[in-house]
Amino acid sequence: MIEKQKLLQEDAIRRKESRLKTLKSAIRRDLTAEILVACGLDTSQDDPSSTQGWVSLSGKVHAMPDGKGMTKLERLQCYESVAREIVASEQDKWEVDTVHRLREERKAREAYTEMLRTMMAPPPPTQGVLKPRMRWKEALPHLEHAETYLAVAANTSGMRPKELFEMEMGNVEKNLARQVDRLESELRSSDKSSEGFPGTVEELEHRCKGTPMLEELRRRGWVEFAVQMLVAREKKEVQRKRKRRTYFMKLLRQVGNVQSDSTWAEVRARVEGHSDFDVIPDDAERESLFERVRGHAKEDEEKRKDDQKPSRSHGVDDDDGGGGGGGGGEEMEDGEV
C-alpha cells in the first residue's frame, strides 16, 4: 500500500513536470523580446520577475491550452523563466553590440588623431596646415569636411573632435616649449648672451646659424613661433626684474629708512633678513639700488630746503610776515606737483 502511494506521488510529480515543460515551451514559442518591450518591460534593465510584463501577458498565458491544470503561480514561474532567458539573450546581444560600437568609435578617434598629426607635421602640401597656438575656430574649416572628423562627430561616447584637437595642439605646444627651452639655454650660454634674445627670425637665424636646434625648428616650421615665445619670455623676465627691484627699493625706503647721509653697511644691517631682501640675489645690484634710493632722498631733501626759502616777491612789506609765509606755501605746492 505504501509503495503504491509512493508510485502515485512520483507519477504525479512527473506529470506536473511534463505539464510545466509543455507550458514553458508554449510560452517560449509565443513570447518574444518585442512582446516584452510592447508590454512595458525594458529588456536591458528591468528584472523579469517584476509584475510589469506579467500583468499584460497573464491573460494570454492563462488562455494557453498547454497550461490547463496549472495554478497561477506555476504559470507565473514559467513566464519568469522564459522572460529571464530572453532578457539574458538580449543583454548578451547588447554587450556584443556595445563592444563593437566602442571599438569602431575608438578606431575613428585614432584615424582623426592621425589626420591631425599629419596636418600639424612639417610641409608639404596637406601638412603644416595646423600651426602651433591655432584656435579651434581657425582650424575647423580645415577639418569639418573630412571623413574622419565626421566619424568622430557621430560618436556617442568618448572625446569630441574639439577635445582631441586641443589635446594634440597641447602636445605640439609642449614640444615647441621644450625646443625653445633648449634654444634659450644655448643663447644664454653663448658669447652673445648680453645682447638678449633675438627679436626677429633673421636675427635668430644669424645668432644660431648652423646649429642643430635651428635646423630642427626650421624643419618643423617653428622658427617664427620660437621667436615669438622668446620675445614673450624676455618681456616677462623684464617685468619680473622690475617688480623685484621695486620691492627691494620699497624695502630700503620703509624699513631701511635711507637718508642722504646713510651708508650701505648700516642700511643693510636694518633690512637683511627681510623676505624682500632676497628678491635681488646680487649684492652689487643691491648696493646700486641703494645708491639710487639715496640719490632720491638727497633730491627730496634739497627740494624741501628750496621750498622753505622765503619768496623774493612777498614778505618784506608785510608787518606780520604773513605775505612771506604765503609765498613759501605756494612754492612748496609747486615742488610737490
Q: Angle at Cα 264 formed by Cα 253 and Cα 308, nearest 5°?
A: 50
Q: Which residue has the cell 635681488?
A: 280
pLDDT at 199: 74
pLDDT in tens, 160-180: 999 999 999 999 888 888 888
Neighbours of 242 (CB within 10 A): 10
Domain ranges of the chain: 2-105, 121-236, 255-336
pLDDT at 297: 87
Q: Give the pLDDT band of residue 232 (cuts 50, 70, 90).
A: confident
pLDDT at 237: 85
Q: Which residue has the cell 491544470?
A: 69
Mean pLDDT (whole number) for 39-47? 53
Give the span between the Cα atoms of 285 and 282, in whole angstroms: 5
pLDDT at 235: 87
pLDDT at 11: 67
Give the span between the Cα atoms of 164 and 146, in whole angstroms: 15
The percent of residues in the chain predicted with pLDDT above 70, rounded, is 64
pLDDT in tens, 139-164: 999 999 999 999 999 998 899 999 99
Give the span between the Cα atoms of 311 and 295, in whole angstroms: 27
Q: Give the pLDDT band of residue 192 (cuts 50, 70, 90).
A: low
pLDDT in tens, 257-273: 888 888 899 888 888 88
Give the distance from CA 139 to its chain's centroid: 19
Pick 74 or 333 by higher pLDDT.
74
The percent of residues in the chain predicted with pLDDT above 90, rounded, is 16
Lowest mean pLDDT among 38-52, 111-125, 277-291: 38-52
Q: Which residue has the cell 612754492?
A: 331
Q: Give the pLDDT band of residue 318 (cuts 50, 70, 90).
A: very low
Across the chain, mean pLDDT equals 76
Q: Given a cut of 80, is residue 128 above it in pLDDT? A: no
Q: Give the pLDDT band of residue 322 (cuts 50, 70, 90).
A: very low
149: which residues sit within 8 A by CB, 6+ positions away?
Answer: 112, 115, 143, 161
pLDDT in tens, 75-106: 667 667 777 776 777 778 888 888 999 999 99
pLDDT in tens, 53-71: 565 566 666 666 655 556 6
Pick 225 or 65 by higher pLDDT.
225
pLDDT at 334: 36
pLDDT in tens, 269-296: 888 888 888 888 888 988 899 899 988 8
Give the span between the Cα atoms of 318 and 98, in whole angstroms: 104
pLDDT at 321: 45
Q: Given a cut of 90, is residue 122 above it in pLDDT? A: no
Q: Given a cut of 50, is residue 337 above it in pLDDT? A: no
Pick 161 or 25 by higher pLDDT.
161
Q: Where are the alpha helices (DSSP H) in the chain?
A: 2-30, 33-38, 51-62, 72-120, 136-143, 147-153, 161-189, 201-207, 212-220, 223-254, 264-271, 283-308, 322-336
Give the span between the Cα atoms of 271 and 257, in whole angstroms: 9
